[in-house]
Amino acid sequence: MKKKICMLLAGTMLAGSLGTTGFAQEETTTTEPMELTMYFPVSVGGGPDALIDDLCAQYHEENPNITINPVYAGSYADTRTKVQAAIKGGNTPDLAIMFSIDLYSLLAMDAIADIDSFCTTEEDQQWLDGFYDGFMMNSRDGETTYGIPWQRSTIVLYYNKDAFEAAGLDPEQPPTTWDELYEDAQKLTITENGQTTQYGIQIPSDGYAYWMLQTFCVQQSGFNLMNDTGTETYYDDERTAKGLKFWKSLSENGSQPSGIVAWATTPSDFLEGKTAMMYHTTGNLTNVKNNATFDFGVAMLPENESFGSPTGGGNFYIFKGVSEERQQAAFDFIKWMTDDERVAQWSIDTGYVATRPSAYETDRMKQYAEEFPYCLVARDQLEYGYAELSTYNQAEVQKAIDDAISYVMTDQQDVETALAAAQQTADGILQAYR
């Protein structure tokens, strides 16, 4: 699949001029040869490393004095650790694509430059104002912009239409409420000789467990797990408990595997017919599209009091600790990368949401949406999008709620006990930032 994607990108993106590709060509003002280091999380959906290589090569063709050297750093968490270590070791990178939720941790290190300071022209400001508001929730602290959305997502419901039809369900009517999800998941579960051969639903409970829990929180009229300044969490709120109990009930009724459902293997379980539905990032959309051997559908997440999904994914950051010239070169590259045509092509090739509304007005995206309308589901869900969990000392605060979810899913603790302990831990960590 990676080879196929790479060939597609090479054919559509490397010609290097507006007349042949539709991409606006921007020449950086830098005249001295310069090599910039960019950390990038390669262990994400969509097979993006080959695409990034090609984009960096194209940029160098158009700007011969600038070379972008990607450093593929593993998962988002790995990338965070490696970037922080590089900064502390005096090897600060010029830019990186990191979790949007790393914002407060990077601010606490005084590690990132504000993007607004580079936007010195009306054109720059129009570009900055051109991203979806839902994605800017995790990109700003107050009125100051620190991150530029790149590979961003919402969680969507993938479902096997063939399995729906076999279970006597309408393949064009996925569940739209918690009650419908609960009932449909049971009907879609197949047990033979005491063994479950097809689960009705899988919602990953490791890796990004907090993210999945957020879906059940924000669907309660927009309640979220944290405040908007990164200093408080609401892990022990009764609405958090309600969401976790519903999630757990899908395992208790046998329609979801008991214990921990793995993030990494859930897409393959779906593609192999081991589960009829799954919650996963839209960043896996192209993977599912290219590899499903059955008719599938994509839908917004079922609602409780309201629809809702936290946003997710990675932003560009520019780092302090490098020269102004290098920062400016990094900014020029980010603007080039987020041209409407490139944003549209990145969305097509990976499944991530195009981060600019104007990207959906390009001919290539209009044609793709006509051929594959499911590419619009995650975008449309942005109407009900909320900020992903983001706090100071992100890793430790996130671990507290991830551990609580694990304890509940493995029957080590009841919901209230686990959430109370998680809140106590988070309060202890965040007290220093209040």
Cα of first residue to Cα of last residue in the chain, in angstroms, is: 48
Q: Which residues pair with 36 in a beta bridge?
A: 68
Confidence of residue 71 (pLDDT cuts 50, 70, 90): very high
Confidence of residue 22 (pLDDT cuts 50, 70, 90): very low
State CA 371 to chain mean position distance: 24
Helix axes 363-371, 340-350, angle to 10 degrees: 20
Q: DSSP character for 115?
A: G
Of 39-43, 63-67, 70-74, 140-144, the one with minimum mean pLDDT is 39-43
What span, in angstroms and rounded, lies between the C-alpha atoms of 56 and 70? 8
Residue type at position 398: Q
Residue 27's pLDDT is: 44
pLDDT in tens, 264-294: 999 999 999 999 999 999 989 999 999 999 9
Residue 180's pLDDT is: 98
User: Per-residue pLDDT for 21 more than 70?
Assistant: no
SS3 380: helix
Strands 95-99 and 34-40: parallel
Residue type at position 353: V
Tokens 């092509």 belong to 345
Residue 32's pLDDT is: 80
User: Per-residue pLDDT for 29 more than 80?
Assistant: no
CB-CB contact of 308 with 218 (8 Å) = yes
Q: Which residues pair with 386 in a beta bridge?
A: 310
Instruction: Please name which of 81, 79, 80, 55 lies closest in space to residue 68, comparing C-alpha atoms.
Output: 55
Residue 404's pLDDT is: 98
